[in-house]
Amino acid sequence: MTRVVVITGSSSGIGAEAAVQLGRRGWTVCLLARRADELDVVAERVRAAGGTASTYPVDLTDEAATLAVSHEILAEHDHVDVLVNNAGRSIRRSIVDSLDRLHDHERVMAINYVAAVRLTHAFLPSMLERGRGHVVFSSSLSTQVPVPLFSAYLASKSALESYARSLLAELGHRGITTTVVYFPMVRTEMSGATAIYAAMPMMTAARAGAWLVKATEERPSRVTSLGGAVGQAGMSVLPGLLTKVVTPQIRRMDKRLSRKVGERD
């Protein structure tokens, strides 16, 4: 039977790389993002790799559009085996600088959390009817360790992780499974929006895409790095101590990156 995967945020970066790799492995890939022209480019890459791809331009913060595209996908492909909630946005801003910018939290939650839950709900009935389905959630290593300056982004990802745990707890016995993928910093358009990160070593989008492939095919409860797993364990046992140790190091790292970027300029 045809294996169908839906990937959001697949017009570039991690989602695009995962789509190409899954297409090469025989999956039928449904590509979702706002930018139709870029989706077409990724679809051609999937087909060139030997896979099958369909594009669905959609604004996932639009409820009516999201429901319409989910119906369209099910009408064309009959079923969805795996949903990869990869679309997202990030804001790097201190809490003090955000005191009059509650909309930072609102717009990040709208795509990172609400949109992912909405699309998951749209496909869940068909998955439950078939008695199986897998949902992947892209998250960040920064939810596993105390990282400053990303309160809106990390709050949205932490909410998504809690939802993933609830989904598995409630529907695991009915064949619904979940994976949370804790990415480190990845060289993408999103990370490139912060100038100092140009000087920071990062995971490639292709390598990050392979993590989504692992989540899709092997279906572990999480995909993470050793550092992320250790950090998460430490935050469970000694959160205050770990925060005191880690956050000064991150501040020093930001200063070093700023100097490097300045030297390059």
Instruction: Give the pair of three-digit tokens for residue 14.
Output: 């991690």
Distance, in Å, from the CA atom of 226 to the CA atom of 157, rounded to the nearest integer, reads 19
> Judging by DSSP bridges, how do beta strands 133-140 and 52-57 pair with one another?
unpaired
In 78-173, alpha helices (H): 102-109, 115-130, 151-171
Count Cβ atoms within 10 A of the Cβ of residue 156 and give its class: 0-12 exposed, 13-18 middle, 19 or more buried: buried
Contacts of 106 (CB under 8 A, 6+ apart): none
Q: Among 25, 12, 248, which Cα is nearest to 148's?
A: 248
Sign of CA dihedral 40, 46, 48, 51: negative
Q: Select from 22, 89, 19 the least CA-distant residue to 55.
A: 19
* Residue of 22, 24, 115 whose CA lies nearest to 66: 115
DSSP 25: T
* Catalytic annotation, pick one of 56, 113, 153, 163: 153
The question of whether 153 is a catalytic residue gets the answer yes
Neighbour tally for 98: CB within 10 Å? 16
Token representation of residue 45: 């890459």
Q: What letter represents residue 39's amino acid?
A: L
Q: Residues with catalytic annotation? A: 153
